[in-house]
Amino acid sequence: MTAVASSIPPEWYLLLATAVFCIGLFGVLTRRDALYFLMSVELMMNAANINFVAFALYYGDLTGQVFALFVIALAAAEVAIGIGIILVLYRNFGVTDVTVPTEMRW
Amino acid sequence: MIDVFSYVPAIVLLPFFSFLIALGVGKHLPKGGAFGGIAATAGSFLLSLWVLATVAGGEAANRTLYTWADAGGIGPTDIELSFGILVDPLSALMLVIVTLVALLVHVFSLGYMNDEGETGLPRYYAGLGLFTASMLGFVVADNLLMAFMFFELVGLCSYLLIGFHFREPGPPSAAKKAFLVTRFGDYFFLVGVVAVLATFGTAQFAGAESFPALAEAALAGEGSVAWTPGGVELQTWLTVVGLLVLGGVVGKSAQFPLHTWLPDAMEGPTPVSALIHAATMVAAGVYLVARMYGFYALTPTTLAVIAFIGGFTALFAATMGLVKDELKQVLAYSTISQYGYMMLALGAGGYVAAVFHLTTHAFFKALLFLGAGAVIIAMHHNEDMWDMGGLKSKMPVTYYTFLAGSLALAGIFPFAGFWSKDEILYEALVHGLNDPLLLGGYLMGLLAVPVTAFYTFRMVFLTFHGEPRTDTARDPEPVRWNVKGPLTVLGVLAAVTGFINMVPVQKVLGLEGIDLLHLWLDNHWGGIEGLSSHHYADIGPYSSGYLVGGEVGTVLVGAAVSLGLALAGLLVAWRLYNVPSPTEHTAKLGGIKDVLYNNYYLDELQVWLAYRTEDVAGGANTFDQGIIDGVVNGVSSVSLFGGSRIRRLQSGVVSQYATLLTLGLVALLLALGVTGGWFL
């Protein structure tokens, strides 16, 4: 463990992760374009990754890092599916605005 | 040695096969399947005779053939539901009676149905076969539940046969009435069966573990029953159970107040009436009481009720028979009345007397109905006695056999009915001298004697004597061998059956061994332990009292009084109706005639009661639709309305869903935080 990393207390990592997560959440809640959605979701996942890696460092346990790798892989897969959904959305509605297609409702 | 009892199921199954054959391929058989029925009942009859002979040889059977439900120790008692056979002197005797009458009815039907060009004959013979099979199954049943099942089958068959001419308006209505009225009694019977099973854990009729034996032991303090409703004394509870089962008996045996179906049942073909009245349906009720007499003998209250209902019905039905114009109607009321006598006998502790009357009545009533059937053939299906007259010389075989049956019915010495009716009245008298309620039953039974004789001979004189009153009566249609044959057999039986049980002669002359039926039912030649008339007399509540002159004097006085009254009734009928052109004398009765002719307005009363029931049902319906359904509908309206509002949350906009999710999570976290004390 490097001296720099260990000298930073874990609260900072948590604050950073929270900030990134909230930015992502804000994006999901306010953006109308599906591509921004994907990006925001990506941010939220990376916030989680920061936590994983930070605590792995803090406890000296590699499990968190392995989990982070898994999450990255999963995020790649999710993007692939997400892009696919967006393509279909565009094909059917001609837009990538998520507020326009409201067919799946009461 | 062949085990005859293993053939007992065949007695039941043969008519059942004839039912299947007639139903399945009857259309393609000659005579609409009649010969199958005749062969089956003849086979059953021969087997029954064999069984009778075997029982006379000292053997009996009480076997469980098939257990179809076994509680296996679940619950307080180990209840097994099974089919089985119980062959003892009583059921062996009944088997012979039922199969013989069924056989003769089948033969007679050749003349009454086939020769008259009826249609739907396969249906008719199928009905007869199933009817006979059901009754035989009921007779050999070894437990109450099996008896109940066949009891119900008998009811079903009566429905099918009474409603045989279903295209006319009357028969279907009469069939429905018969079915519903007897069903009303059967509800009580069913509850009684369940009560017996719950109380004793068994419904067997015979053996050490049978319910009469268990009840007897429990009452004697030597055992206990599995269950009684909390706080009810055993004696009271047994009386209730006895009365519940009696409900079915009152319905089937057409006792007051459930007798109203029987006169209407005359809408059925006449041979069916003979079968219903003589050997099957109506006999089933009385037979059931006799079958479980070991149980009834334990409850004096039930016996008193049976005796009183019986005595009352005997008189009540006889008075209605006085004014009827139709041949079969008179016979219908006489049936009700005669079964009243049997119930009187059973209630009075005269077990043998009741079985005796059941036997003789089976023969002479079958005879009278078949005789009436012959007259109806001759009269081209006109049943009004005022259109007949003078048939005596035109159809002598019918006349003389009918006369024998009438003499038996009226209780004239030495015909069968005299002996059995006299014994019933004797039993009711000697036991009634110590019991006022029973004495009331006796007096009513005695009063019914001249009434019976009067209406019987009014019928005979109007039908056969005097001058013919219509053209049909002047030139009646002749009947063939298939009508005369059964009539002759039954005519002989009606004349001589009484000799199997000449108790008065034995008592007066001191001869031993001529009361064959007494010895038979007392297991003299063997039987099943605990099912003997001796045993029933031991556990029964009655003691005998005698008039002046002791036993012999009482016998003589009793016989003389009943015979005298019967002859008096006959003589009055002779004076009034044995004239060349008789006239209606009923007008002299004034208002009473209308009351009698309308059956004491009991039908109207029952209809009125039915409408009142309908009112109650209407109220219940309103309650059901308004309150019960209202609650249910209200719940569904609230759900529907709520759903229609709440579903608007689902807008289809993904961002809003995400917002809701987030807000929900935040709210959850806040709630957890507040309750968990994170913020302190």
Provide the domain count of chain A: 1
Mean pLDDT, residues B88-107 taken together: 89
Query: Nearest by CB to A105, which of B652, B655, B659?
Result: B652
Nearest to B515 by CA among B392, B350, B404: B350
A98 vs B648: CB contact, 8 Å cut-off?
no
Q: Could you give the ipTM of this predicted complex?
A: 0.84
Residue B414 preceded by cis peptide, ω within 30: yes
The DSSP line for B227-258 is ---TT--HHHHHHHHHHHHHHHHHHHTT-TTS
Q: B651 vs A103: CB contact, 8 Å cut-off? A: no
Structural domain includes residue A55: yes
Separation of alpha carbons B651 and B639, rounded Å: 20
Residues of A in contact with B652 (CB under 8 A): 101-105
CB contact under 8 A, B658 and A29: yes
CA distances from B618 to B286, B390, B506 (A): 37, 55, 62
Domain annotation covers residue A68:
yes
3-state SS track over B275-303: HHHHCCHHHHHHHHHHHCHHHHCCCHHHH
Instruction: State how far the Cα of B602 lies from the Cα of B598, in Å rounded to an integer.
Output: 8
Can you give the residue range of the structural domain that contains A59?
Answer: 11-93
Q: Do A25 and B662 touch (CB under 8 A)?
A: yes
Share the mean pLDDT of chain B. 84
Looking up tokens 């279909």 gives A88
Given a cut of 80, whether residue B510 has pLDDT beyond it is no
What phi and psi, each to the nearest 5 degrees, are found at residue B141? Answer: -55, 140
Q: Which of B645, B654, B657 best tests the A interface by mutation, with the highest count of A CBs <10 A?
A: B654
Cβ of residue A28 closer than 8 Å to a chain B Cβ: yes
8-state DSSP, B516 = H
Q: Are B431 and B438 in contact (CB under 8 A)?
A: yes
Quick check: is A99 in a domain?
no
Other C-beta atoms lying within 10 Å of the C-beta of residue B34: 25
Residues of A in contact with B647 (CB under 8 A): 106
pLDDT tens, residue by residue, B639-652: 999 999 988 888 88
List beta partners, residue B64.
B84
pLDDT, tens only, A46-55: 999 999 999 9
Distance CA B340, CA B444 (A): 10
Work out the average pLDDT over B146-170: 88
Q: How far is it, in rounded angstroms, from Cα B94 to Cα B358? A: 9
Tell me the C-alpha distance between B203 and B180, whole Å.
26
Q: Which of B650, B654, B662 is nearest residue A106 as measured by Cβ atoms?
A: B650
Q: Could you tell me the CATH number of the domain that includes residue A87?
A: 1.10.287.3510
pLDDT surpasses 90 at B663: yes
| Residues B33-55: tens digit of each pLDDT | 788 888 889 999 999 998 888 88
Q: Is A11 on the interface with B (CB under 8 A)?
A: no
- Residues of chain A falling short of pLDDT 50: none
Over residues B373-391, the mean pLDDT reads 82
B636 touches chain A (CB under 8 A): no
Cα–Cα distance measured from residue A93 to residue A95, given in angstroms and rounded to the nearest whole number = 5
Q: Express each pLDDT in B542-594 by its tens digit.
A: 777 776 667 788 888 888 888 888 888 888 888 888 777 777 776 677 677 77
Contact status, residue B357 vs residue B434, Cβ threshold 8 Å: no
The answer to the question of residue A64 being in a domain is yes
Size of interface A-B (CB pairs under 8 A): 29
Interface test with B, best of A22, A41, A99 (most B CBs within 10 A): A99
- What's the distance, Cα to Cα, between the start and end of chain A in Å? 55
Contact A99 B648 (CB under 8 A): no
Query: Could you tell me if A89 lies within 8 Å of chain B, comparing CB atoms?
Result: no
Q: Given an 8 Å threshold on Cβ–Cβ distance, is A98 in contact with B662?
A: no
B65 by DSSP, 3-state: which?
strand
DSSP labels for B134-189? Answer: HHHHHHHB-BHHHHHHHHHHHHHHHHHHHTSSTTSSHHHHHHHHHHHHHHHHHHHH
Please indicate, yes or no, if residue A100 is contained in any of the structural domains. Answer: no
Residues B295 and B204: their CA atoms lie apart, in Å, by 11
Domain annotation covers residue A34:
yes
pLDDT, mean of residues B494-510: 80
Q: Which residue of B has its CA nearest to A36?
A: B655
pLDDT value at B631 more than 90: yes
Cα distance between residue B329 and residue B332, in whole Å: 5
For residue A1, being part of any structural domain is answered with: no
Residue B418 makes CB contacts below 8 A (sequence gap 6+) with B408, B411, B412, B498, B563, B566
Instruction: Determine the Cα–Cα distance for residues A49 and B14; give it in Å rounded to an integer.
Output: 88
Residue A101 lies in a domain: no
Which among B409, B490, B440, B139 has a CA at the least distance from the CA of B285? B139
What distance in Å separates the CA atoms of residue A41 and residue B426, rounded to the nearest whole number?
Answer: 106
The b-or-e profile of B311-334 (16+ CB within 10 A means b, else e) is bbbbbbbbbbbbbbebbbbbbbbb
Nearest residue to B22 via CA among B97, B112, B132: B132
